[in-house]
A = this chain, B = another copy of it.
Amino acid sequence: MNMKHIIKAAAAAVTSVAALGALTVPALAQDGKGVADLSQHGAAQRIATIGSVNAKNVILFIGDGMGDSEITVARDYLHGANGSFDGLDKIGQPGALGDAAAGTGQYTTFSLGYSSDNGKYPKAGGVNNNPGVITPVTDSSASGSSWATGTKTYNNAVDVDIYGNPQLNLFELAKAKGMTTGNVTTSEIQDATPAVLESHSTERSCYGPQGKTDGSSNNAAKQCRAEQLKENGGIGSISEQLLDTRADVTIGGGAKYFRQTAQAGEYQGKTLWDQAKARGFQTVENNVDEFSKLQYQENKPVLALLGDGNLPTEFNATPALDQAATIKRGALQCSVNEAWLGNKTAAGNSASLADMTNKALDVLQANPKTNENGFFLQVEGASIDKQDHAANACGQIGETDDLDKAISAALNHVDLSNTLIIVTADHAHTSQIVNEPPAYALSTILKSPVDGAEIVVSYGTATAVDPDATDASKGYNDGGMEHTGTQLRIAASGPGAQRVIGLTDQTDNFYTIGKALGLATETGDQKNLSADAKVNVVARDGKYYADLTGFNGDAVVSYELRDGATNQVIAASNNSTPVSGVRIAPGQTTEIPLDLVEGKNYRLTVTGRQSGAVAAPAFTAPAASAADKGNGNNNGNNNGGVIAQGQAKLDKGDSANGLLGNTGSAIIGAVLFILAVGAAALAVKFAKARR
């Protein structure tokens, strides 16, 4: 671009905001709002009055733990103090990307309810897991839940509110609109940041039906709330819900957890890999060359997990040392990790985050649904956080580089006139740039290969060896450094980018994305997504099922089956907690097996637990074999194997009249959840804001 073009582009970039629309719901931040207020859907928004414009597609880049300090550490080392990231620094920069709208700002990231049980910091009365307070420092799950759902919640929560009620997330809402979806990360795909697009889980550690194992053992009782497990009538672990969610592209680590075996349900006894294949996924397990060959295939979503745990980092570790040892060691430079997937295989393939982003965009863009309805893709550079926890300066720098290059890759793939790109982080972290190794903190001296500056990176929020660092269940080297609670940078380019200017909250990001894509961001609109829900009672292969479609305003449904003659309940879902019941496969058909006796009369009542929509077909069970052939429909609707059809009725009244677990007014669900917390004799592990 010559100078004239740059100037013109710059002017255009800052001009295009003129098209910003406006919304009607004011929910501006107020001083002193407490947990009860802030836990409501959308209640922590700061800029509800600022409008948005339409985008067809959104890419959300998350640098996990990538606070401004982490950005500066990496820029100073990789590009020089006055240098620039090729991708990261272009997003939000007026004029840097032609005439794309651009904006930068800061957002707040606090969460709700202390969730630390490690006893290091006893509070008055010794009560730790205190839902009545605001937590100044978020973890990745509460922060991810914020932008994925628009609802503030507790550290450890994945898309459930502080009472445990599932909150609809951006993938569910995008699927309701017919969009395609992609989820890319360098971490285990079950880790919090990718998990918030796949699942609703009261415990972020509930990775699979056997907990956090490779399937050779089972620690689910430790890692999951019991009621969420399928064998107890729950909606299932994060990995199982990932398969229900069925994103069009899923790429990351955590392959070993898919070697676990389902403990209940249709796929009981099968591994999750087998389940994925049975459900039509294109799967890749730990093979970069196979990954490289993946292409879009109709109704064959991509599930590529390229490492058993988190993916190897780009740079080798440079652990921080105490002052004397750091000075003795002198200035270091970073070296590329041989295990990094960004290195070429013998066949010439690689899987850097940029490669993964390219693959995701190739697959999404080849999908005809994308052409029609657009896509939403999240790309996470996960190990900036993990390497910062480990006090590893080169580690975090390499991961920032990997993310930056993924952004550049995306910029080569999309049209910023219809695609909004957002780059931000979930929380800030420990690392600080100082001029000398401090006396207290651990530190590392780096010498930039670009401008020769010596950069001292200091880590001061933990001791060198933290007991948790040896906790193998975490799957990564957690050096114990802590997240920090400062406001964070958010940057955006493309339609609606200016909505990030000024001070926003992390929950505003849900609205920025959701409104740009025309998704149902408000609770009422979300309930209406189930207005066309239907329940078809069918027979297939000699068995009876309820096929649920259109429950797009719900994450979970409950059902009960009554004997038509006696009105006795003869089968029902478990509704004991908000994460009990039947998980909806968003935008797809959700199947409930029914055990019917030929010739008997039944009433099946299916209730959307978020929307309150109720469908209650009554019917007489025909011979399953007859129904299978399209006969025996006792309601006069002969639609293939359909025995009966129930059209949902939506409760449009006061939410107090709603059913269990209505989004945003979860009184009954809350009581149940709290009872469950009190009653369950489970070793529930609440995470610190550490992951």
Q: CB within 8 Å of B: which residues of A?
A: 3, 6-8, 10-11, 14-15, 17-18, 20, 22-24, 26, 29-34, 38, 44, 46-47, 49-51, 67-69, 71-72, 75-76, 79-84, 89, 92-96, 102-106, 108, 110, 114, 116, 118, 120-124, 133-137, 327, 330-331, 428, 430, 432-442, 448, 450-456, 458, 460-463, 482-489, 491, 498, 501-503, 505, 688-689
Contact = CB atoms under 8 A, between A and B. Distances in A.
6 contacts: A10-B50, A17-B17, A33-B83, A49-B95, A114-B435, A440-B461
Contact of A462 (B94, B95, B440, B505): B440
Contact of A438 (B24, B93, B105, B462): B462
B454 A123 contact: yes
B31 A20 contact: no
Q: Indicate the member of A68, A82, A118, A134 with the most B CB atoms within 10 Å.
A: A82
A384 to B, nearest CB: 14
B434 A483 contact: yes
Contacts of A81: 108, 110, 134, 136
Contacts of A7: 22-23, 49, 51
A134 B451 contact: yes
A440 B452 contact: no
A503 B89 contact: yes
Contacts of A489: 106, 487
Contacts of A15: 15, 17-18, 20
B452 A34 contact: yes
A30 B82 contact: yes
Contacts of A462: 438-440
A670 to B, nearest CB: 20
A285 to B, nearest CB: 37
B49 A106 contact: no
Given A26-B3, A34-B452, A82-B29, A76 B136 contact: yes
Contact of A435 (B89, B460, B463, B482): B482
A485 B330 contact: no
A15 B485 CA distance: 32
A371 B82 CA distance: 39
B435 A137 contact: yes
Contact of A93 (B18, B330, B488, B503): B503
B11 A435 contact: no
A31 B80 contact: yes
Contacts of A96: 502
A20 B68 CA distance: 28
A122 B463 contact: no
B455 A458 contact: no
A2 to B, nearest CB: 10
Given A79-B32, A82-B38, A134 B453 contact: yes
How many copies make up the complex? 2
A50 B502 contact: no
Nearest to A441: B460
Given A134-B451, A461-B432, A485-B434, A76 B110 contact: yes
Given A18-B15, A122-B327, A460 B438 contact: yes
A430 B433 contact: no
B102 A69 contact: no
A84 B461 contact: no
Q: Indicate the member of A47, A124, A453 with the most B CB atoms within 10 Å.
A: A453
A434 B134 contact: no
Contacts of A437: 120-121
A140 to B, nearest CB: 14
Contacts of A438: 460-462, 482
Contact of A80 (B134, B483, B503): B134
Contacts of A503: 84, 89, 92-93, 104
Contacts of A76: 110, 136, 485
B49 A82 contact: no
Nearest to A4: B22
Contact of A436 (B75, B456, B482): B482
A458 B68 CA distance: 18
A11 to B, nearest CB: 6
A279 to B, nearest CB: 40
B30 A20 contact: no
A84 B46 contact: yes
Nearest to A81: B110
A93 B502 contact: yes
A43 to B, nearest CB: 8
Given A31-B450, A72-B486, A94-B502, A327 B434 contact: no
A239 to B, nearest CB: 28
Contacts of A505: 82
A487 B71 contact: yes
Contacts of A135: 435, 453
A89 to B, nearest CB: 5
4 tightest A-B contacts by CB?
Answer: A460-B460, A433-B485, A31-B83, A93-B502
A29 B22 CA distance: 36
B14 A498 contact: yes
Contacts of A456: 121, 136
A104 B461 contact: no
Nearest to A331: B124
A11 B22 contact: yes
Contacts of A487: 68, 71-72, 489
A327 B94 contact: no
Contacts of A46: 82, 84
B14 A104 contact: no
A501 B102 contact: yes
A487 to B, nearest CB: 5
Nearest to A110: B81
Nearest to A498: B14
